[in-house]
Structures are given as C-alpha cells and as structure tokens.
C-alpha cells in the first residue's frame, strides 16, 4: 500500500515539521513552567521571524542571513512585549495571560498586514540539494532543519544544566518564591526566559518560511498544532516537548499519506485521548497554583 | 527610640490576604544577634508576619525597617540581599538540583562561596553534596534550607516552623545550630515547640488572631507563661 | 408583585432599547447584534461565572448552524424545526465532549476547545464535504417555508423573532444568576474546595454550566443559519475564535448585559473602523490588550456599578461581586 520511498519522505517530512513545532513549544513550555503564563504571542514572534526572513533574504540574497535577522527582530519584539505588557500581569491568573497574549497576537497580525499586506509571499529554499537515503531523494534543507532542532535541544540542555542562570530557571520552575528568597533577581530571569522563547519562535518561523508561503495568518494556522505538542508533552517539561513534537510531526506527516484530511485532525484526536487518561499531558505536572 | 541599630523594626503593621485582614497593628523589634520567638495557634498570622517582612506580601499600612533602611515595597530578592533571609515552612528544596547546586544558587546572589561555614554547622551535608535534593530526608532538607540561607552571612534569619515533622534527634541538633548561629545572626523563629523556643529565645512574642498579645523577655520565658496566649 | 416587576424591569428596559435602536440603525446591523449577543452570552457565562475561557466557541456555533442547515437542505422546510434541531445538535455535542473537557485545568480547557473548533472546521470543509458541500457551503434560503404569525423568511419579522428569543435567553440567564445553581457556579470559580465541603460536586456544576453555555451558542448558530439561509465552514474557522472572546471582554465579563453592550460596540466599531483604517486586527488586538491592562472590566462592567449606585440607591446589590481573582 505504501512504498518505501513515500514512507521515507514521509518520515523526513514529519521530522522537519516536528522540529519546527519543537522550537516553538520549548518557549511556550518554559514560559509556563517558570512564569505560569500562557504566551500565545509566541506565534507572533514566529510570524515575525518568517517575515523578516522573507524581507532580508529578498534584500540580501541570503536566506540564512534572513533567518538570523528574523531571530533577532523576534527576540527584540519579545523583549519589548515582556517589559511593557507581561511585567504587569505575572501575578494574575492563567486565563488573563491567555487573553492578553491572544490580543497581542491578533494586534501583531494587524501590524504585519500593515507592513507587508495580505498576499502570501514565497521564500526561496537556501539549498535545493537532495541527498539519497535508502533510495529516496530527500531534500537536504529538511535535514538541516532537523539538525538545527537537535542542536537547539542540546544547547537548551547545556544552558539549563550547566549554567547558573539555567539552574536558577529550573529551580524557579519548581518554586519561584524560594529562588527570590535567595536574593536572585527573578524579574531578570523572567525576561531572559521570555526572550529566549521569542528568539526560538523567530528561528522556527525563519526555518519554516522556505517550506511554506508566509502570510499574515500563518501564526494562527500553526497555533493549534503547537499547542497540541505542548499539551501532549505537558506544560513545563522539556523532554516531554521533544517527545510529543516528534509524535505530532510523524502523525501529521504519515497520517497524510494514509488519508490526507484526517491527518490534520489526527493530532487533536491523539491529544484528546491522552488528556482523557492523563489530564495534564504526558509529562505535565499537576501544579496549578502559583 | 533609635530605629537604626536594630536589626528589625516593625511598627503598626496591617496585612490582609485579599479581602480578609490577617495582621492588626503589629509591633515587633529584633536587636542584633537576638533570638526572637513568635508563638501562637495555627492561623494566628505568624507565617504572614514573616512573609511580610521578607517582602512576599505587601502590607496595608505600617513600617518595616532594618538598621534604618525601609523595607516596605521592596522586592523580596532585594530584601534578601540586604541581609534578611527567609526560610519557609514548606521544607521544599529544589529537588531536581543537587545539594551542591542548591548551595550554588544561594551563593550566586550573595557572592559568598565559602561553604565551609555551612559544612561546619551541618556536617551531614558535606557527604550529600552530589545527591539530588529530592532524595533527602526531611531533616536533611531542613538543614539544606538553613545552610543555603546562611550564605552571605545574613544579619537576620526568619525561620518558619523549622522543627515541624522532624525526629527528636534532629530537633536537638537544630537547637544547637540555632544557639551557635545566634552569635552572629539575629534569629526570628516561628514555632509550635514551646520547650525548644523557651530554651533558646531571648524574647518571645505571642500572636493571637493577628495581634501581638504578649511580649516575654528574660526570666519570664517559660512554656507555662506562653500557654495562656495560645 | 412589585418584586416580580422589579425583576423583569432590567431585561424589559434593555430589550426595549434594543428594539428602539431599530428605528435609527439598519436592519442587518441590529439582527447581527442580537444574534451575536446570544453567541457571546455562552462564552461570557463560562468565563465570568465558571472561570473557563474557551477559544473554541465556533465549534458549537457550527454544531447549531449545520444542524439546522442539514435539516433544511435535505429534509424539511419548517424553520422552527430547523432551529430546534440546531439547538439539539449543540446539546448533543456538549454532552459528548463536556465530561472530558470540564475535568481539565483552565488553560488545557481553552486549547482543547480550540482543537475541537479546528476538528469541526476540517470535518465540515473536507472530510464530510460530500454532505456539507465543503467550502461552497449549504444554500437553503429558498427551502425555508413561510410560517404563520411570524414569517421568518422576512427579515423584519425575523428580527422580531430573534428579539423574542434573545429576551427569553436573557430571562433564563437572569434566573440562573439568581438561583442556587448560579451561586454554585461562582463558588466553583472562587473556591472549589469549599464548594465540595458543603456537598456540591464541582464537576457536575461545571458540566451543567458547560452544556447550558454551549447549547446557547448552538442556538445562535441556528439563528444565523435561518437568517443567512446559508452555512459554510467559514463560521467555524479558527480565526473567528477570537470574536466571542473579544466581545465578552469588551462588554464586561460575567455581567448580564455585557454581551449585548459588547456585541453592539464590536459590530459598530467593525463597520466604522473597517471604513477608516481597514486594518481591523490591529485595532481589535490592541483594544483587547488595553482593556485587559486597564482592569479587564469592559464597557458594561465599568458602567454597571456606577449606574447602579446612581439609580438604585437602597436596592441591595444583586449582581455577585466579580473581582477577577481565582486560584487557577
């Protein structure tokens, strides 16, 4: 029914999609774990990353330069939003941050429309090279995306486990008050975490741009999938995010080989099944109160 | 009434949690290297008092100062850096981090990497340095919490129910530790264990339904003297 | 007797004003406001009383709309039956997903509802395209039969009908507010432990509230279907998920008349702003952030306490205090 070539392409496709989801989900997961906020505006930084990549690659001829630029602008925007908006709402309940960040996302889409208009734009793939894997031609670019995701995972792991700031963040995920009681400036920790999340989302957008058309609504289209990953993996768990990004990526990809329309819906079904059994996701904690 | 020269001065403190008021006009002073105990029933407001001093709660009114420096309105990490450290009641350490890493975090803000002092007070911790803190026993966790807070040589330690749920042998150890600590640090200890506090305290405040109802000092500190106020 | 009159006075006043506005404003606008208010009411109730925000209200709107649409396209012509079936569809969907959704923490709840909206969207657009005609939508305007008393095929009379339905909905929600159930809903938001202690089940309270709110949303969907004579997957597109949330906040969360005020303001602003700026998202996004930072009370939420003090001195406040503080 499904020949080997299709299968291999499907797996690689799924891995690259999973990589994109992972890059975004990490930020969301960390922001929730440490600051107890739902940061829907990460989808905006994703879009910003994609659009800046588009413009910069058009201007300079180099897509990679565009991606770097996208990351930078996304990170700066995230910094500004954190300082002006989130600073005021850390003490409020979860729904508050959800609604506010959603407003930022929608408003940001408006800003994008203002500068770039509504017409979808194409971004060239940095390399059209293909490599032969088990008899199938696989786009090298997709493999690069996957490799970058693994590098980022390694980098985040090193950051969280080998640097003092990272350890402070891990400690803060367990109990922010105790960290603050030791004299550590948690306000700065929050900002650092938020900017990391925004930059990673920008990277995700920049990397994804050549694979799809950039349009103002792109953040909303991916929103559901990214949250699927976060929920399945459990908010606050990095390992869980990696695993569930992998799962969702494969389900979307291989599922579409089996029956296309169903594949879009399959992750949601998987998510509902998981939540049925474990209402906090695969690796999520039951912590609710701040 | 000299405000400076006192490690901690609280005047007319009123605190509420949301709609309900918990502390009413509390006056409280701590001299340098003094051991002050705070006793009272559950819900009397003892933890609230410590948390307000440590900056985790914003008071409705009143002043809190240390050596003339005003504390109200400051972030708790700021207050910790001023030398007033809070050891919470929940006996939670950072369980995913090792003992060493827990101490690292304590050292980070205070820039005090001299762990010998901590090891002197708590020799057991020396053996446990590379163990994940989540695997420590209750008593060991309490030691780690206090040890962590000692870094930076704070002038005041606010300790919330340290002996709760601990074995008598550990309690005895802690009693000695508190005695040794008080040579260089003022201690404010919230406790239910009356014999313990009466043995080591220079001053005892009794808190009932959010108000200070008694202040005992010197000779008059005996468990029997505290009981009427509970 | 006087008490009963007092009880009805608020709703009578509100709906008289609404009916009166028909004199000054175009018919499509007021009909949109009425139906949108009903749509928002479910969302507002869930958020304000139970403390759950749902980003997936379009799913239940679609349940109602398509329920009505299927009947009128394939089976019959009576619009009343159509509406009834639409409402029933919404009821059934809520009863199926409710038991799972309502157990979740508030953030998972919001996103799971969004997921449902996406699933319904794809279902209607692609998977069931044979019966839903996919993006082309179902057209059944000509199928609707004329009905005695109020001919729903005539916009003027449809407006009267919609107004009456909305009136009934508001009377129902006001009744809920004043009832023990209403108090339970608030309690489940503010202090779930206490509610369990006095013998109520948080789960059951939430489930009932969930079903009521989403059936109301389905009712709005059914009304849209009759009014437009046409249903397409667009009404459940995820990008429309923001609408009820924004209107809820704009009007004032959890207040009885918030949805009406919010729907009025939102629809009005949309018309005006679209002509001026053209960039609707920019405006609505920042408006939402502004409202949240300014105290999240919304238009009616801010006006209501002041009006109450002004006009109803001596009357004990009947609206439960909503200080927006939960422990979720």
- pLDDT single digits (tens) B45-99: 899 999 999 999 999 999 999 988 999 989 999 999 999 999 998 888 998 899 9
Cβ contacts of A184 on chain B, cutoff 8 Å: 77, 105, 108-109
Arithmetic mean of pLDDT over chain B: 88
A181 and chain B: CB distance < 8 Å anywhere?
Answer: yes
Residue C326 has pLDDT above 60, yes or no: no
pLDDT of residue C317: 46
Let me know: does B8 contact B83? Beta carbons within 8 Å.
Answer: no
Arithmetic mean of pLDDT over chain A: 87
- Between C282 and B142, the higher pLDDT residue: B142
Q: Model confidence over B87-137: pLDDT tens digits?
A: 998 888 998 899 999 999 999 988 888 899 899 899 988 889 999 998 998
The least confident of A28-37, A78-87, A251-260 is A251-260
C123 and chain A: CB distance < 8 Å anywhere?
Answer: yes
Between A98, A260, A272, which is nearest C107 by CB?
Answer: A98
Confidence bin at A285 (pLDDT 50/70/90) = low
Residue A118 has pLDDT above 50, yes or no: yes
Residue C319 has pLDDT above 70, yes or no: no
Please answer yes or no on whether A184 and B94 come within 8 Å at the CB atom: no
The least confident of A264-268, B9-13, B101-105 is A264-268
Residue A1 has pLDDT above 90, yes or no: no
- C183, exposed or middle or buried, with CB in 10 Å at 0-12, 13-18, 19+? middle
Q: What is the mean pLDDT of residues A190-213?
A: 94
Confidence bin at B1 (pLDDT 50/70/90) = very low
Q: Model confidence over B207-228: pLDDT tens digits?
A: 888 898 888 887 777 777 777 7
Please answer yes or no on whether A182 and B94 come within 8 Å at the CB atom: no
User: What's the CATH code of the domain at B182?
Assistant: 3.40.50.300
Residues 206-265 of C with CB under 8 A from A: 238-239, 242, 245-246, 249
pLDDT of residue A192: 96
Please answer yes or no on whether B80 and A183 come within 8 Å at the CB atom: yes
Q: Which residue of chain B is at minimal alpha-carbon distance from A164?
A: B105
Single out the residue of C3, C44, C5 nearest to residue C266, CA to CA. C44
Tell me how close the Cα of B51 comes to any Cα of chain A, in angstroms.
Answer: 10
Cβ contacts of A174 on chain B, cutoff 8 Å: 92, 94-96
C191 and chain A: CB distance < 8 Å anywhere?
Answer: no
Q: Model confidence over A129-180: pLDDT tens digits?
A: 888 877 788 889 999 999 999 999 999 999 999 999 999 999 998 899 999 9
Give me the percent of chain B exceeding a pLDDT of 70: 98
The least confident of A10-24, A46-60, A263-277 is A263-277
Residue identified by tokens 């827990």 is B102
pLDDT of residue C238: 64
B221: left (phi over 0), alpha (psi -120 to 50) or beta: beta
Q: Which of the residue ranges B157-161, B199-203, C249-253, C321-325 has the most confident prediction, judged by mean pLDDT?
A: B157-161
Single out the residue of A226, A242, A223, A228 nearest to residue A281, CA to CA. A228
pLDDT of residue B4: 59
Cβ contacts of C119 on chain A, cutoff 8 Å: 265, 268-269
Please answer yes or no on whether C116 and A268 come within 8 Å at the CB atom: yes
Per the structure block, which two tokens stand in for C178?
């004043």
Please answer yes or no on whether C118 and A272 come within 8 Å at the CB atom: no
B190: left (phi over 0), alpha (psi -120 to 50) or beta: beta
Residue A45 has pLDDT above 90, yes or no: yes
Residue A25 has pLDDT above 50, yes or no: yes
pLDDT of residue A75: 95
Please answer yes or no on whether C111 and A288 come within 8 Å at the CB atom: no
Residue A245 has pLDDT above 60, yes or no: yes
To the nearest 10°, the Cα dihedral for A271, A272, A277, A282? 20
pLDDT of residue A185: 94
Give me the percent of chain A exceeding a pLDDT of 70: 94
Q: What is the mean pLDDT of residues A59-73?
A: 91
- Between A132 and C209, the higher pLDDT residue: C209
Please report, for chain A, the start and end positions of each structural domain, with discontinuous segments joined by +: 22-219
Cβ contacts of B94 on chain A, cutoff 8 Å: 170-171, 174-175, 178
Between A93, A102, A108, which is nearest C242 by CB?
Answer: A102
Secondary structure of residue C239 in the 3-state scheme: helix
Angle of CA points C101, C95, C232, to nearest 5°: 90
Which domain range does residue B109 map to? 8-229
Cβ contacts of A183 on chain B, cutoff 8 Å: 77, 80-81, 85, 108-110, 152
Cβ contacts of C292 on chain A, cutoff 8 Å: 89, 96, 99-100, 103
pLDDT of residue A288: 41
Neighbours of chain A (3+ CB pairs under 8 A): B, C
What's the structural domain count of chain B? 1
Confidence bin at C289 (pLDDT 50/70/90) = confident
Arithmetic mean of pLDDT over chain C: 82
Tell me how close the Cα of B227 comes to any Cα of chain A, in angstroms.
Answer: 32
Three-state SS letters, chain A? CCCHHHHHHHHHHHHHHHHHHHHHHHHHHHHHHHHCCCCCCHHHHHHHHHHHHHHHHHHHCCHHHHHHHHHHHHHHHHHHHHHHCHHHCCCCCHHHHHHHHHHHHHHHHHHHHHHHCCCCECCCCCCCCEEEECCEEEEHHHHHHHHHHHHHHHHHHHHHHHCHHHHHHHHHHHCHHHHHHCCCCHHHHHHHHHHHHHHHHHHHHHHHHHHCCECCCHHHHHHHHHHHHHHHHCCCCHHHHHHHHHHHHHHHHHHHHHCHHHHHHHHHHHHHHHHHHCCCCCCCCCCCCC
Please answer yes or no on whether C118 and A265 come within 8 Å at the CB atom: yes
pLDDT of residue C314: 52
Q: Could you tell me if residue B136 is inside a domain?
A: yes
d(CA C284, CA C277): 12
Residue A69 has pLDDT above 90, yes or no: yes
Residue A2 has pLDDT above 80, yes or no: no
The DSSP 8-state label assigned to residue C143 in this structure reads G
Confidence bin at C142 (pLDDT 50/70/90) = confident
Q: What is the mean pLDDT of residues A274-285?
A: 72
Q: Could you tell me if residue B183 is inside a domain?
A: yes
pLDDT of residue A164: 94
ipTM of the complex: 0.89
Tell me how close the Cα of C300 comes to any Cα of chain A, in angstroms.
Answer: 18
Confidence bin at C124 (pLDDT 50/70/90) = confident
A186 and chain B: CB distance < 8 Å anywhere?
Answer: yes
Please answer yes or no on whether A182 and B54 come within 8 Å at the CB atom: no
A100 and chain C: CB distance < 8 Å anywhere?
Answer: yes
Confidence bin at C5 (pLDDT 50/70/90) = confident
Confidence bin at C322 (pLDDT 50/70/90) = very low
Cβ contacts of A92 on chain C, cutoff 8 Å: 324
Cβ contacts of A191 on chain B, cutoff 8 Å: none
A262 and chain C: CB distance < 8 Å anywhere?
Answer: yes
Neighbours of chain C (3+ CB pairs under 8 A): A
- A91, exposed or middle or buried, with CB in 10 Å at 0-12, 13-18, 19+? exposed
């Amino acid at each position: 029914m499904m020949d080997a070539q299709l299968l291999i392409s499907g797996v690689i496709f799924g891995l690259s999609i999973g990589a994109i989801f992972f890059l975004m989900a990490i930020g969301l997961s960390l922001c929730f774990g440490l600051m107890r906020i739902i940061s829907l505006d990460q989808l905006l930084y994703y879009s910003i990353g994609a659009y800046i990549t588009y413009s910069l690659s058009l201007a300079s001829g180099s897509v990679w330069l565009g991606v770097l630029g996208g990351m930078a602008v996304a990170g700066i925007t995230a910094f500004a939003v954190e300082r002006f908006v989130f600073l005021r709402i850390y003490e409020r309940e979860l729904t508050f941050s959800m609604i506010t960040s959603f407003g930022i996302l929608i408003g940001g889409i408006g800003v994008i429309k203002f500068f770039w208009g509504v017409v979808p734009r194409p971004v060239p793939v940095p390399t059209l090279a293909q490599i032969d894997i088990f008899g199938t031609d696989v786009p090298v670019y997709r493999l690069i995306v996957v490799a970058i995701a693994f590098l980022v995972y390694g980098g985040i792991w090193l950051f969280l486990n080998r640097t003092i700031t990272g350890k402070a963040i891990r400690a803060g995920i367990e109990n922010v008050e105790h960290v603050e009681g030791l004299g550590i400036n948690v306000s700065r920790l929050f900002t650092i975490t938020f900017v990391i999340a925004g930059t990673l989302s920008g990277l995700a957008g920049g990397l994804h741009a050549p694979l799809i058309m950039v349009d103002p609504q792109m953040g909303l289209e991916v929103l559901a999938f990214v949250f699927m990953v976060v929920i399945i993996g459990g908010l606050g768990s990095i390992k869980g995010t990696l695993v569930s990004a992998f799962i969702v990526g494969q389900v979307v990809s291989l599922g579409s080989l089996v029956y296309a329309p169903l594949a879009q819906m399959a992750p949601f079904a998987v998510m509902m099944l998981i939540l049925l059994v474990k209402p906090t996701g695969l690796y999520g904690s039951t912590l609710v109160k701040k | 009434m000299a405000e400076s020269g006192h490690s901690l001065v609280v005047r007319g403190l009123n605190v509420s949690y949301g709609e309900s008021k918990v502390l009413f006009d509390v006056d409280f002073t701590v001299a340098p290297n003094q051991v002050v105990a705070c006793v009272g029933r559950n819900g009397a407001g003892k933890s609230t008092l410590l948390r307000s001093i440590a900056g985790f709660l914003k008071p409705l009114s009143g002043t809190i100062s240390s050596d003339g420096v005003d504390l109200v309105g400051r972030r708790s990490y700021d207050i910790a850096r001023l030398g007033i450290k809070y050891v919470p009641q929940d006996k939670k350490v950072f369980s995913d981090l090792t003992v060493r890493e827990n101490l690292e975090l304590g050292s980070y803000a205070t820039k005090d990497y001299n762990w010998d002092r901590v090891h002197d007070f708590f020799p057991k911790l020396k053996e446990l340095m590379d163990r994940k803190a989540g695997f420590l026993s209750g008593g060991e966790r309490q030691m780690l919490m206090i040890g962590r807070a000692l870094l930076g040589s704070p002038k005041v330690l606010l300790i919330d129910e340290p002996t709760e749920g601990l074995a008598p042998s550990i309690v005895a150890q802690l009693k000695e530790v508190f005695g040794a600590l008080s040579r260089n640090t003022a201690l404010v200890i919230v406790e239910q264990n009356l014999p313990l506090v009466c043995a080591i305290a220079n001053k005892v405040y009794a808190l009932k339904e959010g108000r200070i109802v008694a202040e005992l000092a010197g000779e008059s500190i005996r468990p029997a003297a505290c009981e009427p106020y509970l | 007797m006087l008490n009963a009159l007092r009880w009805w006075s608020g709703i009578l006043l509100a709906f008289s004003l609404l009916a009166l506005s028909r004199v000054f404003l175009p018919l499509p606008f007021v009909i949109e406001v009425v139906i949108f208010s009903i749509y928002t009411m479910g969302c507002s109730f869930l958020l304000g009383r139970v403390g759950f925000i749902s980003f997936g209200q379009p799913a239940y709107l679609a349940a109602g709309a398509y329920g009505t649409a299927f009947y009128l396209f394939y089976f019959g012509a009576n619009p009343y039956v159509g509406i009834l079936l639409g409402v029933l569809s919404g009821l059934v969907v809520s009863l199926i997903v409710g038991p799972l959704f309502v157990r979740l923490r508030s953030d998972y709840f919001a996103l799971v509802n969004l997921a449902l909206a996406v699933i319904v969207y794809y279902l209607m657009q692609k998977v069931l395209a044979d019966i839903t005609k996919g993006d082309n939508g179902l057209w059944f305007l000509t199928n609707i039969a004329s009905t005695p008393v109020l001919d729903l095929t005539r916009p003027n009379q449809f407006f009267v009908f919609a107004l009456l339905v909305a009136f009934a909905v508001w009377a129902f929600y006001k009744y809920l507010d004043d009832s023990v159930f209403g108090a339970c809903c608030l309690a489940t938001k503010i202090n779930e432990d206490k509610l369990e202690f006095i013998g109520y089940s948080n789960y059951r309270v939430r489930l009932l509230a969930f079903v009521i709110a989403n059936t109301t949303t389905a009712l709005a969907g059914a009304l849209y279907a009759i009014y437009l004579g046409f249903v397409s997957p667009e009404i459940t597109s995820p990008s429309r998920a923001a609408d009820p949330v924004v209107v809820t906040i704009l009007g004032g969360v959890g207040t009885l008349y918030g949805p009406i005020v919010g729907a009025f303001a939102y629809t009005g602003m949309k018309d005006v702003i679209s002509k001026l700026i053209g960039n609707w998202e920019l405006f609505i996004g920042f408006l939402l952030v502004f409202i949240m930072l300014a105290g999240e009370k919304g238009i009616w939420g801010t006006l209501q306490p002041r009006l109450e003090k002004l006009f109803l001195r001596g009357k004990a406040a009947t609206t439960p205090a909503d200080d927006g503080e939960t422990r979720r």
